[in-house]
Chains A and B, each alone.
Chain A
Amino acid sequence: MRVLIVEDYDLLRDSIAQGLREHGFAVDTAADGEDGLWHAQGGSFDVVILDLMLPKLDGLSLLKRLRQQDTRTSVLVLTARDTTEDKIKGLNLGADDYLVKPFKFDELLARVRAMVRRKYDNKSPCLRVADLEIDTLARTARRAGEAVHLSAREYALLEFLALRASQVVTRTDILEHVYDFASDPDSNVVDVYIAHLRRKIERPDSPKLIHTRRGQGYLLGEDKP
């Protein structure tokens, strides 16, 4: 999942970024409002974590301008202002959630995950595709009740495919949303990791789950091509 952090306080921004990356998110950061808006409009982020007091362009103005064209991205407002008026103002301008500083990192993580689930119309933290189960909290996968051992990148890719189960996911989607694939110099990185996933997930006695759609992308599901 791809997250943008717009926060001017270095220590906080870097720590959130590190924490999210270590939990399998692809993270971009911006230190001021203008830079943040430019990133948010350019990339397709699942979640934007937005501070309200920002240099150059404040968080609420950024949110207002972002919402004029983009209604898909979930925005989590992060601020030291905790009055009800501030919260109402933020939510009315199109924020999806509100977190007051200081906060527990685990709470931030849980809220970001919940926002991702909502974005993909999935209410349960457990994803199921045929006999494949993915626990997004434990970040583990099981095929027919049997644990599948995945690397962080492999898991991130599988989770992304599972969130969009039965839909064709393009290479570009994967590059944009999944953990720093974009920064990998190997242009075949997606194909390579799809191959890794196939090797670990597919069983000879079970139906095939990962399908390749020529010229379009990949699909996770029981559907026959």
Chain B
Amino acid sequence: MTPQSNRTPPAPPTGLTASAVSAPPRPPTSLTARMVLRTSIACAAVFLLAGLVLGLWLRYAFRSEFDRALLAKAQAVCALMEEDSNTIKFEDEPETLAPFGDASRREFYQVWDHAGRVMARSPSLHGADLPRAQPAPPRPAYADVTLPNGRRGRTVTLPHTPRPEEDRPGFKPQPITLVVAGATRNMAENLSETLWLTFWVFAVSTLASAVIVGWAAATGLRPVRALADRIAATGESNLSDRFDPDNLPAELRPVADRLNELLARIESALAREKSFTADVAHELRTPISGLETALEVCAAKPRSPDEYRTTIDRCLSTVRSTHELIDNLLLLARADARQLSPNLRPVELEPLLRQCWQPLESRAAARGLTVNWDLPPNLTIESDPALLSLVLRNVLDNAVTYADVAGSVEISAHAHSDRCEIVILNTGCSLTPAEAAHLFDRFWRADPSRSATGTHAGLGLSLCQKIMPLLQGTIDAAIEPSGTFSVTIRSPGRASGAPTSFEPTSAESNVLSSC
């Protein structure tokens, strides 16, 4: 492990401690809580906006109503007004004028002539002035004012030409300005009452909707909880059980389908793992059992030196092939754990292939195999020589072992731009394409009930398949109907004129010997 400054801190073992330790707040993890929270926020926002619009509209409506009433009062006052030589007289109509009496604190009027002289004011003003719009507007105009008694109020300014007194025909009255004011306190109180009522209605609605959403979510999510419980109850013992999508709501069906697929994959991986363990047990126990029995039987009584020699030789050869098997298993385990670190460098292919072939030569000759080589000169590949020769040895060994007697083995290589392709094929293969699919499985052999324990334990090709990606290459196997079995190894490389001879460094040798 290399120290890295920007490594993320190790994750806490469980989610529980994670939430307890890490300070940043997280959104509620419960779906129900999340739905309640979001619905409440959304409702509150909608109600707030609606309340704002409603409030503005109510304020406008209340004010228009107030203004209409104010104007009606002003017009009623106008209707009573008579001018007589620059004085204003009111027809005596106590019903209309009573609200403006000197006891009133709510309603006021004042009349100016066109020159700005006060012509009349309501007794309620007690001699004070109302604010007057200058110049006099042509149409009724409204304004918010502070009344002489300090209260807030509203005025309407009304231009008017009073009637002349009946008994003075020919008198032409001058236009005057009438200002009628009313205290707005009642209107404001009504408006605020209405607004508060609206607020409480909306607040209660928000609360109610949160409760309803909480209930609906809790009942609606019951199948999710049931599914979660079932998932929690799924373990190694009931891995073959499947979720029934037909019993679930439509939204959860894809979840159940994917879960079922996942379970199937886990189950088959576990079965593979189990059978691999059983295979390892068989491959290791059988030779050890052989050794134990051979040595026990041999030691049971005194024997001749020749008998001892035979037993020792047989045991030694068993120990060696078991050793090789253990090496392969360890190498596989290391490749699985990504502990193999290949050292990629340019390697001249032909010497490497010849070197891997050399130990097999005598066996190939004994089986009467014809060996054809087709290698272009100066083919250099980018690879780790130690690991690549392990792959090549395995594939070549298979070719020699499984070729038919007096058949042939062909070893060829070609460069395609930046890739190099090595093809090793042998005749006499009796596998079907369906069986070929298992070629890279661990401990798989054509005969399901094993043909030989030891060297050809069926680990070779799966080891090769593990190693090639580390060398940035691939390995594939194919079977022709004619019985030709071929393994194609692709690796980065090119035909070049600058060969580097293959000489495994001591470090590389150590990698393999310590495996």
Contact = CB atoms under 8 A, between A and B. Distances in A.
Interface in B259-302: 278, 281-282, 284-294, 296-298, 300-301
Contact of A81 (B282, B447, B449): B282
A12 to B, nearest CB: 4
Interface string A1-42: 000000011111011101100100000000001000000000
Contacts of A11: 287, 290-291, 293-294, 314-315, 318
Interface stretch (B184-192, B213-221, B450-458): B450-458
A198 to B, nearest CB: 29
A120 interface: no
Interface string B9-42: 0000000000000000000000000000000000
B293 A19 contact: yes
Contacts of A158: none
A16 B293 contact: yes
Given A15-B290, A80-B289, A102-B285, A8 B452 contact: yes
A106 B300 CA distance: 10
Nearest to A18: B297
Given A11-B318, A33-B449, A101-B288, A80 B282 contact: yes
Interface in B123-161: none
A126 interface: no
A19 B292 contact: no
A210 interface: no
Given A9-B286, A80-B289, A103-B289, A55 B318 contact: no
Nearest to B297: A19
A125 B317 CA distance: 38
A64 to B, nearest CB: 14
Nearest to B283: A80
Contacts, number: 91
State the majority secondary structure of interface residues on B: helix
B281 A105 contact: no
Interface residues of A, number: 31
B449 A57 contact: yes
A112 to B, nearest CB: 13
A22 B299 CA distance: 12
A82 interface: yes
Given A8-B450, A11-B291, A15-B290, A101 B300 contact: no
Interface string B447-486: 1111111000000000000000000000000000000000
A58 B318 CA distance: 23
Nearest to B288: A102
A9 B287 contact: yes
B319 to A, nearest CB: 10
Given A15-B297, A19-B297, A53 B318 contact: no
Given A22-B301, A58-B449, A103-B293, 13 more contacts: A8-B451, A8-B452, A9-B453, A11-B314, A12-B289, A12-B290, A53-B282, A54-B450, A80-B278, A81-B281, A83-B278, A105-B292, A108-B293
Interface of A: 8-12, 14-16, 18-19, 22, 33, 53-58, 79-83, 100-106, 108
12 contacts: A8-B452, A10-B290, A11-B294, A12-B293, A14-B294, A15-B290, A22-B301, A83-B278, A101-B288, A102-B293, A103-B292, A105-B297
